[in-house]
């Protein structure tokens, strides 16, 4: 049993209610799938440190790339100047992205990548002189915590207090299995209005909304409807990108060619913050003009930080030269084996898998993000040395691809143990 200890600290942690979570372990080291605390306790990172760590913590090539870059160029303004790590990452992303992507705009987080995507869509229509200003988004969506990304995200406990900051969007029903027709009909009707700039989607799986999975055919049909009505499609691959769904990008499974695509999290293998918004030539060209009012007006101080770009370049090289796809497939297979054991277990509902991700809902008195069982589960998993951070009563397992069979068994045995203890 690992014991967490109270730390006297001025730090205000993200998505953390300090009044009910007083004890915070202090992590001093990470390697592979392991995190290690300053008291020697080790935790299996079953959620890839908020879905960022893809290959595993401390991949030697990424560490070496960071070290090498620190000695060459630490930071430089990216407006009007460029550098090789950024150029290499941009070329790599265009190589790896779905067909049609030709331009790469850097930022620092998933939220900023989505903000940039929304601004690109609105700028595209304005610069073309067409009045399309509304955005469509899926029910239960999550796209980040900045004002615009909260606006396109589902309304609820995450953002009720910030409602005055948010703009209205058209909401499309989630395409649950067997209910897809309702999604198509609402999407079609919304698009017919002629004022829609873009539809933003998390392809194949809605993450923070509860690991809700939907069919590739539904994604492909939504894309066809958008295309028919000249509505831009923004694919938010912030969580799904870099192998999580079994393919490098989830869009591939639907044969999708989005107009705009957002990547972050695993872009640096999960080592440093970096994000990119990818766009087609049409989006770029609408901003390309001697008329300077058509400039794409977005920046942040650390845009394309060279050290983060060096880490991303190493990550892309890893994808292009190491058997990462085989590792992903092996993990998918192991996950399939484990999730099969939970089918029919009455303590769980909606036992599901997409690629390397599994999720299962604990049958509990209440559901949703604030379900009382959530903090109980978290504490019990941590006490067993497993970092799982349920979304309310939804337990999900999203490990780094280096995880081995024994480590995965430890995670699932902890789930069985802890949930049995709830009875
Ligand atoms: C689909 C999706 N989009 C955007 C974000 C926001 O990313 P970040 O936390 O890096 O701002 C997340 C974060 O989990 C996400 O899952």
**Residue pLDDT, tens place only, 264-277:** 999 999 999 999 99
Which pLDDT belongs to residue 5?
A: 44
DSSP tag of 256: -
Residue range 142-155: average pLDDT?
98
Query: Residue 381's Cα: distance from chain center in Å?
Result: 23
Residue range 222-239: average pLDDT?
98
Residue range 212-235: average pLDDT?
98
Q: What residues does ligand 1 touch, defined as CB less than 6 Å away?
A: 109-111, 114, 142-144, 202, 207-208, 236, 238-239, 264
pLDDT tens figures, 15-45: 999 988 767 899 999 999 999 999 999 999 9
- As given in the structure block, the two tokens for residue 173 are 């029903």
Q: Residue 314: pLDDT above 50?
A: yes
Measured distance CA(123)–CA(119) in Å, rounded:
6
Among the listed ranges 5-9, 84-88, 142-146, 169-173, which one has the minimum average pLDDT value? 5-9
Question: Ligand 1, closest atom to CA 144?
Answer: 6
Mutate-to-test residue for ligand 1 from 205, 250, 264, 271, highest number of ligand atoms within 8 A of CB: 264
Which pLDDT belongs to residue 2?
A: 52
H or E, element range at 332: helix 324-342
Question: Ligand 1, closest atom to CA 275?
Answer: 10
Residue range 365-375: average pLDDT?
86
Which pLDDT belongs to residue 368?
A: 82
What is the Cα Rg of the chain in Å?
Answer: 21
Q: Which protein residue has the closest C-alpha to ligand 1 atom 8?
A: 110
CA of 42 from ligand 1 middle (Å) equals 26
pLDDT tens figures, 69-105: 999 999 999 999 999 999 999 999 999 999 999 999 9
Residue 3 pLDDT class (50, 70, 90 cuts): very low
CA of 345 from ligand 1 middle (Å) equals 32
Which pLDDT belongs to residue 22?
A: 67
Q: Which protein residue has the closest C-alpha to ligand 1 atom 4?
A: 143
Measured distance CA(56)–CA(60) in Å, rounded:
10
Among the listed ranges 3-12, 24-33, 59-68, 131-140, which one has the minimum average pLDDT value? 3-12
What residue ranges define each of the domains in the chain, with the CATH number in brackets? 27-58+323-422 (3.90.1150.10), 73-321 (3.40.640.10)
DSSP tag of 25: P
What phi-psi label fits residue 295: left (phi over 0), alpha (psi between -120 and 50 degrees) or beta?
beta
Mutate-to-test residue for ligand 1 from 13, 211, 265, 277, highest number of ligand atoms within 8 A of CB: 265
CA of 59 from ligand 1 middle (Å) equals 23
Residue range 328-344: average pLDDT?
97
Residue 1 pLDDT class (50, 70, 90 cuts): low
Q: Quick check: 148 and 117 in contact, CB under 8 A? A: no
Residue range 163-171: average pLDDT?
98
Query: Which stretches does DSSP call E strand in 264-401?
Result: 275-279, 348-354, 357-362, 386-387, 394-397
Measured distance CA(412)–CA(211) in Å, rounded:
17
H or E, element range at 116: helix 110-127
Q: What is the pTM of this model?
A: 0.97
């Amino acid at each position: 049993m690992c014991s967490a200890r109270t730390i006297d600290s001025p730090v205000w942690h993200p998505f953390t209610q300090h009044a009910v979570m007083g004890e915070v372990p202090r992590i001093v080291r990470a390697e592979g799938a392991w995190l290690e605390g300053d008291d020697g306790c080790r935790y299996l990172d079953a959620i890839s440190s908020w879905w960022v760590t893809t290959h595993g913590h401390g991949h030697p090539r990424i560490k070496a790339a960071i070290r090498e870059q620190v000695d060459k160029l630490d930071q430089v303004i990216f407006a009007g100047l460029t550098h090789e790590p950024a150029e290499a990452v941009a070329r790599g992303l265009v190589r790896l992205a779905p067909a049609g992507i030709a331009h790469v705009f850097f930022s620092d987080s998933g939220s900023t990548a989505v903000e940039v995507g929304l601004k690109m869509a609105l700028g595209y229509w304005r610069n073309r002189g067409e009045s399309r200003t509304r955005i469509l988004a899926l029910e239960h969506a999550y796209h980040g915590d900045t004002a615009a990304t909260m606006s396109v995200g589902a309304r609820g406990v995450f953002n009720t207090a910030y409602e005055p900051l948010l703009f209205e969007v058209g909401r499309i029903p989630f395409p649950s299995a067997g209910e897809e027709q309702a999604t198509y009909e609402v999407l079609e009707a919304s698009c017919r209005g002629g004022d829609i700039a873009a539809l933003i989607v998390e392809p194949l799986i809605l993450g923070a909304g509860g690991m809700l999975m939907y069919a590739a055919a539904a994604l492909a049909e939504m894309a066809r409807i958008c295309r028919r009505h000249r509505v831009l499609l923004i694919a938010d691959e912030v969580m799904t990108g870099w192998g999580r769904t079994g393919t490098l990008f989830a869009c591939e499974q639907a044969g999708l060619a989005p107009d705009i695509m957002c990547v972050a999290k695993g872009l640096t293998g999960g080592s440093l913050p970096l994000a990119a918004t990818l766009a087609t030539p049409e989006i770029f060209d609408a901003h390309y003009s001697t008329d300077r009012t058509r400039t794409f007006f977005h920046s942040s101080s650390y845009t394309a930080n060279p050290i983060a770009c060096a880490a991303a370049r190493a990550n892309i090289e890893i994808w292009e030269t190491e058997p990462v796809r085989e590792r992903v497939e092996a993990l998918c297979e192991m996950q399939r084996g484990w999730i099969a054991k939970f089918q029919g277990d009455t303590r769980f509902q909606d036992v599901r898998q997409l690629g390397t991700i599994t999720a299962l809902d604990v049958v509990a008195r209440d559901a949703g993000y604030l379900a009382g069982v959530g903090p109980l589960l978290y504490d019990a998993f941590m006490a067993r040395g497993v970092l799982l951070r349920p979304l309310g009563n939804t337990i999900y397992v999203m490990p780094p691809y280096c995880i081995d069979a024994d480590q995965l068994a430890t995670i699932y045995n902890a789930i069985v143990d802890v949930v049995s203890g709830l009875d």
